[in-house]
Structure 1
Amino acid sequence: MPSVIWMDLTAGAGSLDQFVDGEATVRGAALVSTRLSRPAEEWYLEPLSEIRIGATEFSEQDRKLFSVTQFTTAAGRKFSVPYAVATRPARGRRVWRAKAQGAQANC
């Protein structure tokens, strides 16, 4: 049964690990930009092309290694949301990737 999950990225980035073991599947993903508490008429949907969880990135500011969830938008913008302090470097695991445009047309 399809469902929609709405979560705050900062608070929910680590919870995406539920999709790593393969028991649950992500079928599509997008970000809703609320533009800092502006009226809903000014919100917009930004489709994602990939979500990777458990990667690590070093923060120069904090001088620590963090586990992050990495997001890539369909437009190619990349950003990470830290959710925990990490003990060792990791590439992370991809929990979702959009199909290529050509592959979607052939479905």
Structure 2
Amino acid sequence: MDLNSGAGSLDQFEGGDATVRGAAVVSTRLSQPTDEWFLEPLSEIRIGATEFSEPDQKLFSVTQFVTAAGRKFSVPYAVATRPARGRRLWRAKVPAAAASS
């Protein structure tokens, strides 16, 4: 799914019959050949959060992504009427060995 057009539709996974079992983002670098694309595993997806855009002077509803490497980015999908923290849709499980060390 294209993140720019699909970020707002991820709420279909919340409380429904479908489950997110793993997630990654393919970084395509549109002007690069496909052999230079790479997969970034995600550690968290949060939907319905809001962020203020300085250039637009508007509050937007966003889907927030955190990669396994710690990179954070958001994809806006609608103008928001009030601030919100959003809801965690999915979070990667920490392996038991890593959690106990």
Q: TM-score higher than 0.5 here? A: yes
> 1:75 maps to what in 2?
69
Q: Deviations over 1:45-81 (max 9, x none)?
A: 1000000000000111111110000000000000000
Residue ranges of structure 2 left out of the alignment (5+ in a row) = none
Aligned-pair Cα RMSD in Å: 1.6
> 1:98 maps to what in 2?
92
Deviation of the 1:38 alpha carbon:
1.6
1:24/1:39 Cα in 2 relative to 1: closer, same or farther (>3 Å)? Answer: same
Number of residue pairs aligned between Structure 1 and Structure 2: 99
Within the candidate set 32, 38, 45, 2:26 is matched to: 32
> 1:23 maps to what in 2?
17
> 1:10 maps to what in 2?
4
Please give the alpha-carbon distance, in whole angstroms, between the structure 2 residues aligned to 1:103 and 1:53: 29
Please give the alpha-carbon distance, in whole angstroms, between the structure 2 residues aligned to 1:92 and 1:52: 6
* Runs of 4+ with >6 A deviation: none
SS of the residue aligned with 1:100?
Answer: coil
Please give the alpha-carbon distance, in whole angstroms, between the structure 2 residues aligned to 1:43 and 1:34: 5
Share of identical aligned residues, percent?
82
Please give the alpha-carbon distance, in whole angstroms, between the structure 1 residues aligned to 2:28 and 2:69: 18
Residue ranges of structure 1 left out of the alignment (5+ in a row) = 1-6
- One-letter code of the match for 1:84? A
> 1:4 maps to what in 2?
none
> 2:39 maps to what in 1?
45
Question: What aligned pairs does 1:53-68 form with structure 2 within 5 A after superposition?
Answer: 53-68=47-62
